[in-house]
Amino acid sequence: MNKLILFGISIIAVLVLLAVFAPFISPYNPQAIDVENILSPPNRVHILGTDSLGRDLFSRMLYGTRVSLEVGLVAVSVSLIIGVLLGSLAGYWGGRVDNLIMRFVDIMLCFPTFFLLLAMVAFLRATIFNIMLIIGLTSWMGIARLVRAEVLSIKEKDFVRYAKAMGAGNFKIISRHILPNALPPVLVAAVLGMGGAILTESALSFLGLGVQPPTASWGNILMEGKAVIDIGWWLTLFPGMAILVTVLGYNLLGEGLRK
């Protein structure tokens, strides 16, 4: 097996296990306040220290893993559904349908993605579900263009022409003959997109526009750590490292699949 794939899968597998078994691994309630241990540095009782409310950072990091993985999975699923649907329609039918869809894609690409995210967050309540939906709705354009290019190439193959000659309908041709052959590069884009979605959620939460306290996420832990970085360095170091390792895992897996 490709070493990049192996390293990427290993990192992601560990994160998934931590997220699934967080209630059993977590030594404390992630929202439990302990005024006697405010900003306690890493020690035997709190292995990653505590925050400005005395909450155990290790427990909050475990539950933050759940949030990050959920955001990545759901956001990429939304972008895949939209991108694959519009890209396959544009590539298969061509003509006016292709022009209409691709001009819409071009318009969406004209807007800076992060500012588009901020605009949508301003109109919607900053819940976890809305954040996942917003990230998915603003990240499908690249997948649509990739699927369109693949469909344009595949629809000229002999097996597609044979299916048409046998009387297969358009939906059957797209779903059974074209899309299965167009998905490998889309899978790579989806894996890489999960890392990007986690980064985006962390950035929004860091700005106070993403997952809202007391729900733990790596981004809002970083936001809190920014205010006390001179005396609570662990609130910046550990969530920052978690984001780095997670995105690295997805990037290694995506690069391995691409190769």
| CATH (domain of 103) | 1.10.3720.10
pLDDT band per the 50, 70, 90 thresholds, residue 13: very high
**14 with 249: CB under 8 angstroms?**
no
Burial degree of 156 (CB within 10 A; 0-12, 13-18, 19+): exposed
What pLDDT shows up at residue 129?
84
**Ramachandran area for residue 247 (φ above 0: left; ψ -120 to 50: alpha; else beta):** alpha
In the predicted model, what is the mean pLDDT of the chain? 88
Domain that holds residue 55: 3-258
Q: Into how many domains does the chain fold?
A: 1
Q: Is pLDDT of 76 > 90?
A: yes
Question: Degrees (nearest 5) of the Cα angle 32, 35, 41?
Answer: 90
Burial bucket for residue 4 (CB in 10 Å: 0-12, 13-18, 19+): middle
| pLDDT reported for residue 66 | 92
**For a pLDDT cut of 70, what percent of the chain falls above it?**
100
pLDDT tops 90 at residue 61: yes
pLDDT of 1 over the 70 cut: no
- pLDDT 10s digits, 118-140: 777 777 777 788 888 888 888 89
User: What is the three-class DSSP state of 221?
Assistant: helix
Q: What is the pLDDT of residue 242?
A: 94
48 within 8 A of 57, measured Cβ to Cβ: yes
Residue (of 97, 91, 62) closest to 239 by Cα position: 62
Distance from C-alpha of 241 to C-alpha of 252, rounded to nearest angstrom: 16
Q: Is the pLDDT at 177 greater than 90, yes or no?
A: no
What is residue 5's predicted lDDT score, i.e. its pLDDT?
86
Residue 197 near residue 142 (C-beta atoms within 8 A): no
Residue 178 has pLDDT above 80, yes or no: yes
- Per-residue pLDDT tens over the stretch 215-251: 889 998 999 888 888 888 999 999 999 999 999 999 9
